[in-house]
Amino acid sequence: MLKLTLVTDAWEPQVNGVVRTLSTTARLLAQRGVRVQIISPDQFWSVPMPSYPEIRLAMTTKRRIGKHIRAFAPDALHIATEGPLGWLARGWALKHGMAFTTSFHTRFPDYVSARIGIRSESSWPERIWRVLRRFHGSASAVMVATPRLADELSSHGIAHTRLWSRGVDVDQFRPDAPPHPVYAGLKGPVALHVGRVAVEKNIEAFLAAPWHGDKLVVGDGPALDALQRKYPAAHFLGALHGPALASAYAGADGLAFPSRTDTFGLVMIEALASGTPVAGYPVPGSLDVVGQGGYGGDGRAAGRIGALAHDLSHAMRAALGARRADCVAQGRRYGWDACVDQFLAALVTGNGQPVPYLPAPALQLVA
């Protein structure tokens, strides 16, 4: 039985795409017989991240992290994030000669710029990339969600990447999910945004865009109160999960994804699987899913699944022309089993060798 230690600074009860990706991967690995040890902030004394109190920063030591890893004796070590736990686990692994892999989930130079207004022409972005090169440079492989992101990292000196795509739960996110009750009182077409309500998600661009129907925001975060006050005509539902989230996707006429910093954007493929077209800016993340012409990142969608434009309002209107059946077909191409295959293929054992292949469980066919 393969034993994997997964170290992450992003974990439940945080609600974001990184946590959903890691938790789903861990659950599906367990179904394949992998024993997964999670090392996360909830296991240590922690402090709230400045301006993000719901994100906890673990305060511990390299020795204590190592004690957890040694007690579990994993075959493979994956360090998912560049936070305090990630750095401590990296330091312990290097000290003890244990090979490990990492993953790249956040464009920190863009994230920091959005958070505190650092100009792109300043020296700070390159300083941040220098730190990222140091963190990931010692890994046997760096897992990335898309080939475009791999190219971006390579241009900054991080070239040893492996593809680890994203998946969608097609049993949950379906076009026939009953619309959320809130839609009964809304004027169509309804434009939806799903995600963390924070400045780096650029939600204000969506709320400020001219639109001839209602706007609905699903999510929670530090910018929620301010945006509710500034845009009282929009409808804010807070965070939704499970069937309630699926019902929000299925009832919308389009999903607006205004982020310019996401490395992928899990909500886009959840929307597509629900039959909801996607609108956004022509930037990495949106381009990887929707594609420049709206026919998918690989251009292979059966029909238009959304629209991208530098004018978000134009993209939102154009996305309404997509056929829901084409959106569903494209969304269902993102299967989790293939993502787990990629994750396992990129892992290495403690001495740097590939881990044994573990196939997905056989499907149970019901007559």
Backbone φ, ψ for residue 46 (5° rounding): -145, 165
Residue 327 pLDDT: 98
Q: Is the pLDDT of residue 125 over 90?
A: no
134-137, Cβ contacts within 8 angstroms, sequence gap of 24 or more: 135/82, 135/86, 135/87, 135/90, 135/102, 136/82, 136/102, 136/104
Per-residue model confidence as pLDDT tens digits over 299-356 = 989 899 999 999 999 999 999 999 999 999 999 999 899 999 999 999 999 999 999 8
Per-residue model confidence as pLDDT tens digits over 254-284 = 999 999 989 899 999 999 999 999 999 999 9
Mean pLDDT of 225-246: 97
Per-residue model confidence as pLDDT tens digits over 169-188 = 999 999 999 999 999 999 99
Answer for the pair 308, 318: CB distance below 8 angstroms, yes or no: no
- Counting residues of the chain whose pLDDT is more than 70, the rounded percentage is 93
Which range among 17-31, 42-56, 68-82, 219-233 shows the weakest confidence by mean pLDDT?
42-56
Residue 365 pLDDT: 36
Residue 120 pLDDT: 52
Its pTM surpasses 0.75: yes
Answer for the pair 59, 84: CB distance below 8 angstroms, yes or no: yes
The domains of the chain are located at 3-167+335-346, 181-331
Which range among 70-84, 100-114, 258-272 shows the weakest confidence by mean pLDDT?
100-114
Residue 366 pLDDT: 35
Q: Is the pLDDT of residue 116 over 80?
A: no
Residue 117 pLDDT: 55
Residue 354 neighbours by CB under 8 Å, 6+ apart: 345, 347, 348
Residue 189 pLDDT: 98
Residue 114 pLDDT: 53
Q: Is 135 helix (H, G, I), strand (E, B) or coil?
A: helix
| DSSP per residue, 154-187 | HHTT---EEE------TTTS-TTSPPPGGGGGPP
Domain 181-331 in the same topology as domain 3-167+335-346:
yes
Q: Residue 270: which region, alpha, beta or left (left: phi > 0; alpha: psi -120 to 50)?
A: alpha
Residue 118 pLDDT: 54
CATH number of the 3-167+335-346 domain: 3.40.50.2000
Residue 3 pLDDT: 97
Mean pLDDT of 12-22: 88
CA distance 95 to 103: 20
Per-residue pLDDT band at 196 (split at 50, 70, 90): very high
CATH class of segment(s) 181-331? alpha beta
